[in-house]
Structure 1
Amino acid sequence: MSTVPTTLRDTAADFEGRVLETRLISLSREEFALDVWGRTPLLTRGVSDFSDLFSASAVDELVSRRGLRTPFLRVAKDGSTAAESSFTSPGGVGASVADQLDDTALWRSFADGSTLVLQALQRTWEPVTDLAARLGTELGHPVQANAYVTPPQNRGFDDHYDVHDVFVLQVTGSKRWIVHEPVHPDPLRDQPWTAHRAAVADAARGEAYIDTVLEPGDVLYLPRGWLHAAEALGAVSIHLTLGVHTWTRHALAEQLAESALALLREDVEMRGSLPLGVDGPGEELAFVRRRLLAALTEADPTPLFHRTRRSQARPAPMGPLAQLGALESLAADTPVRLREALEARLVGRRLTTRVGWLDFPEADLAPALRILDGGAHPAGDLGLPFVERLLRAGVLVPAES
């Protein structure tokens, strides 16, 4: 019988703040994990109102007022992506950067039927930043967010598959989605759909697995590899795509091999030269294979796994002036908490995070463990020198009273 990983089990205390069940699906997390995740698409109707996350006014602000540069936006029409030079221009006096978005050029492209793709919204739009960080923490896989803004009766991209799982959140307007089964199941990051272009085109002519219209509040989950194409209907369509960059067994195998090779660097015989005049692996291969198998058995890729995972996302935003204010007014009753999305882990006396690592003396291990609960703590309960050090490191931040 399948079992649910401990990290996926429900607790009443944290249900209210979870993204997956409250905003993306109507199943329980256990049902999604066992029956849907990485296996099959899932269409959920009217699961949430997404107007608090994104809107038409958000599109206008990002395009015209934020000074965004490429690659934070792409322009596509009928399967072709426009050259960046066609929608960018210098920023003017005091901002002479050549690739800032040109709102006039973008308006003309949009009016002509092009889709605007606002990329990496987890970096540029605060409500999406928070959602993506929380979802990534829940799933254990990094999440990025794009918005697709398509004029009526147009499509930006032809049938294709993604190399990451996606949650499609329909924000405004409606869009017809046609989904077909994979031609290359569970593709890796370096196995894009363009390597199977003919098979994709052939499969897209067959019977659809899903042919439906997404309305505002609907969510479509697609595992990586599932073919899809979408077309806006009678009004401008805006949808968010949350791309889940899943860890795979192949990625773990790569890290295991890298860890084993690191061990073999310390083996003097493995550092030895092959015989003079060698023209192939010959008898040396059996020796190398034995040593490599032994190193694979001994190697522990866990530190590399966590280091790579920390590098794949950013911690929650931190205001330098608010941080300075917290330091200057620090008192025993000042509430502080662990900065969100830090991927903080305490191993022995070392706390590793996305902003670096800190080693603690024995006396500070107890407060270091306490802050990992993510809750607010009075600075005096943790120790003022301890709190000051972690505020300066960007690990602790002021908490609301």
Structure 2
Amino acid sequence: MTSEERGPRDRPALARLLAVAPDAFATDYWDSQPLFTRSSELGSRFDDLFSAGAVDELVTHRGLRTPFVRMAREGVVLDSARYTAPGGLGAEIADQVSADKVLDEFSGGATLVLQGLHRIWPPVAEFARQLMSDIGHPVQVNAYITPASARGFDPHYDVHDVFVIQIAGEKHWRIHPPVHLHPLREQPWTAYREAVENQAQGEPTIDEVFRPNDVLYLPRGWIHSATALGGTSIHLTIGVAALTRHDVLREAVAHAAADDSLRAALPLGIDLTDAAAVRALLADAVADLARFTGEEPGVAQAVSGRLAGRVQASTRAEPIAPLATTAAAAALHEATTVSLRRGLDAGIRQGSNPADVLLVLPAKTLTLPAEAADALAQIVAGHTVQAGGLTGLDAASSLVVARRLVREGVLVVR
């Protein structure tokens, strides 16, 4: 399919955040330029993802613990004891969020940050799974709840890209160009504090009041600060931990430990203060690395697997309810519609015994009869099927395989 033929459904979660086509975003904005979009241009709302009611429910009824919650005032993160407390009889854990303490601090001007919403709030978790599939990079989501006229954090930059969705209230954002392009995770803004502070005094690139359902894309490194206006402000920050060429090289170098020439010692008596000698060694090492990665087909596969694993580890598969799943497996019949659990990383491999085929999952590997290979390929491809109609199996065998895969948390009833 060409880029001209693609529509919004090709990247539905990403398209929801944009007024431009996803391909145009990839070319013109991704990793380079911020993009601020008014809700009127988007034509969509986000109250299905989060709301003020969601904040109150999480703080009051969900028993959140640190680090899923933190608070800050004027750029200073508060000691957790100021907004947490033991939960009482049977829940004496000391770092559970206290609604009373949160109210006191929030009334005094502190910003409440609910972290890891992609782990604890189902609508956000599902959206994060979809967005990660759309963009191919790890995703995490926080909510920032700021009282009127309060500023939560000083001007700073993040080491990950963000999409900001204004959920409620208004917030005045000022955004300035980077002082350090494309920062890595180990290059925080505090290492460039003076330059960041100076840059924040200049003319901003974006100086806007965000209103409900406005969306901002901000590449890592861009300096920003925000102040709530007139009432409580709530926004979601979707952090995208973009994988980089540096990550590819780091994984390749780690795998290059298998090459004996790259493990060889440097020359005896080498003068490491001689820049020319070190430059020659560097050129030789780069050449050897290029030779190793070019000649060994397993290197690309290993690097691919390690990078893909980092993306997969950043999110959870579609949640399953243990008791409901057990009941569904018992009640399964040939006409029951099932499909692969969304977000589950699953692969197929030949077993050491030719009579077996392996279904490789993040936490376990399942062994099935080799005649189920076509059925597994059908499932892993994401097809929705009837439990008694798996490819290559008769109805009875298909039902047996489907029932086992439901019990194992691979298939879900649709």
Deviation at 1:336, TM superposition (A): 1.1
- Of 179, 184, 187 in structure 2, the residue corresponding to residue 188 of structure 1 is 184
Question: Is residue 365 from structure 1 mapped to residue 373 from structure 2 by the alignment?
Answer: yes
Shift of the 80–286 alpha-carbon distance from structure 1 to 2, 3 Å rule, reads closer
Cα distance in 2 for partners of 1:29, 1:380 equals 39
Shift of the 303–280 alpha-carbon distance from structure 1 to 2, 3 Å rule, reads farther
Shift of the 351–302 alpha-carbon distance from structure 1 to 2, 3 Å rule, reads farther
Cα distance in 2 for partners of 1:8, 1:387 equals 37
Shift of the 310–356 alpha-carbon distance from structure 1 to 2, 3 Å rule, reads farther
Deviation at 1:359, TM superposition (A): 5.2
Question: Is residue 387 from structure 1 mapped to residue 389 from structure 2 by the alignment?
Answer: no
Cα distance in 2 for partners of 1:146, 1:10 equals 34
Kept after mapping to 1: 8 A contact 2:140/2:314: no
| Unaligned stretches of 5+ residues in structure 1 | 1-5
SS of equivalent residue, structure 1 residue 64: helix
Deviation per residue, 1:315-356 (Å, 9 max, x gap): 111111121012211221121110001133446655444344
Residue type at the aligned position of 2:50: F
Cα distance in 2 for partners of 1:375, 1:9 equals 26
Cα distance in 1 for partners of 2:26, 2:10 equals 19
Kept after mapping to 2: 8 A contact 1:257/1:296: no
Kept after mapping to 2: 8 A contact 1:145/1:241: yes
- Of 113, 120, 123 in structure 1, the residue corresponding to residue 116 of structure 2 is 120
Cα distance in 2 for partners of 1:227, 1:167 equals 14
Kept after mapping to 2: 8 A contact 1:123/1:129: yes
Q: Which residue is equivalent to 2:30?
A: 37
Cα distance in 1 for partners of 2:155, 2:2 equals 35
Q: Which residue is equivalent to 2:362?
A: 354
- Of 132, 137, 157 in structure 1, the residue corresponding to residue 133 of structure 2 is 137
Q: Which residue is equivalent to 1:3?
A: none
Kept after mapping to 2: 8 A contact 1:171/1:217: yes
Kept after mapping to 2: 8 A contact 1:333/1:379: yes
Residue type at the aligned position of 1:18: P
Question: Is residue 173 from structure 1 mapped to residue 188 from structure 2 by the alignment?
Answer: no
Percent of aligned positions with the same letter in both sequences?
Answer: 44
Kept after mapping to 2: 8 A contact 1:342/1:355: no
Question: Is residue 49 from structure 1 mapped to residue 45 from structure 2 by the alignment?
Answer: yes
Residue type at the aligned position of 1:174: E
Deviation per residue, 1:270-328 (Å, 9 max, x gap): 778899x9788899x79994765543332222222223332222211111112101221
Shift of the 162–273 alpha-carbon distance from structure 1 to 2, 3 Å rule, reads closer
Q: Which residue is equivalent to 2:394?
A: none
- Deviates most, 35-44 or 345-354: 345-354
Instruction: Calculate the TM-score normalised by the size of structure 2.
Output: 0.86
Q: Which residue is equivalent to 1:19?
A: 13
Cα distance in 2 for partners of 1:377, 1:245 equals 35
Deviation at 1:72, TM superposition (A): 0.4
Q: Which residue is equivalent to 2:353?
A: none
| Backbone CA RMSD of aligned residues | 2.7
Question: Is residue 341 from structure 1 mapped to residue 356 from structure 2 by the alignment?
Answer: no
Shift of the 365–82 alpha-carbon distance from structure 1 to 2, 3 Å rule, reads same
Kept after mapping to 2: 8 A contact 1:310/1:353: no
Instruction: Calculate the TM-score normalised by the size of structure 1.
Output: 0.89
| Unaligned stretches of 5+ residues in structure 2 | 351-356, 391-397
Cα distance in 2 for partners of 1:60, 1:286 equals 57
Q: How many residues align?
A: 387
